[in-house]
Amino acid sequence: MARDKITVVGAGNVGATTAHIAATRGLGDIVLVDIVQGLAEGKALDIAEASPIELSSPAITGTCDWEITAESDIVIVTSGFPRKPGMSRADLLAKNVQIVNDVSTKIARHSPDAIVIVVCNPLDAMVYTAAKVTGFAKDRVMGMAGVLDSGRFSYFIACELGVSVEDIKCVLLGGHGDDMVPLPRFTSVSGIPITELLDEEKIAELIERTRKGGIEVVNLLGYSAYYAPAAGAVKMAEAILRDTKAVLSCCAYCRSEYSAGGCFVGVPAVLGRNGVEKVIELDLNRSERNQFEESLAHVKELAAKVDKLL
């Protein structure tokens, strides 16, 4: 039986960490590709040499040659300029549209049946770029953001309540940025809504920290986070490759759902072997709906800018 093939585009911090986590999970044969000669090769070799110690899969190849990525089942796109202190995700738009445009053209050429998971920022706009350039069915192109944001929100809640992160289930909507929409009403600890455990002021404080979670790391490190984004990308890939039907918040294409009018935006979705198999539409109250519509408007503004750049 043929093993699944996962290509990770970009051998920087996010890409190399994604490849490492995927290898430890034994998801399949991994190809790490980068334009910098020796970078992907060196990191792949380092990961492979760790496999006897970690008892993980050594099936990883580093390369600059896109031919080696051919017939991938999943392609995870991490390549792009990272954020630095003082930069917003939107500041990266023009540079990263060029990169994702080039990468998406190569994905379509070498792996026309792949499912694409985009990680680089500004996330929702880069997912739109990848879908437009590849021409793939929209259910096969998605973005890793909600899993990361849910992870951050869950961690902050767990710290505040002194409970296990495993007991927390979060739901988020909207774009990946300062106007994301965490939903306390649908976020729970072992089924107990956090609105029963925390007061409004504390919940608002945790939501704000979640929205600023990326820049908090950037300000401390001087560059973008990578452990948590990589873990989020692998969680999505695992749900798809193992057909678990996991419900994860991610950037997915909404046709009529949430009255989005055909747009890639953060929503809870069922992920399986076919990609995004279902978008779960929640019955939002007026406040939640207003927040989502504001976030959606910003996502659509970025998509319109992408159209002008391509």
Residue 190, C-beta contacts closer than 8 angstroms, at least 6 positions apart? 167
H helical segments located in 162-199:
none
Alpha-carbon distance of 175 to 153, in angstroms, equals 15
Query: Pick from 158, 127, 50: which is nearest to 306 by CA?
Result: 127
Supply 171's token pair. Answer: 């739901």
For 297, the token pair is: 């408007």
At 145, the amino acid letter reads: A
Q: Tell me the one-letter amino acid at 201.
A: E
Q: Is 298 one of the annotated active-site residues of the chain?
A: no
- Cα–Cα distances (Å) from 150 to 52, 66, 126, 169, in that order, read 33, 33, 20, 8
Collapsed DSSP state (helix, strand, coil) of residue 168: strand
- Choosing from 20, 110, 176, 298, the catalytic residue is 176
Catalytic residues: 176
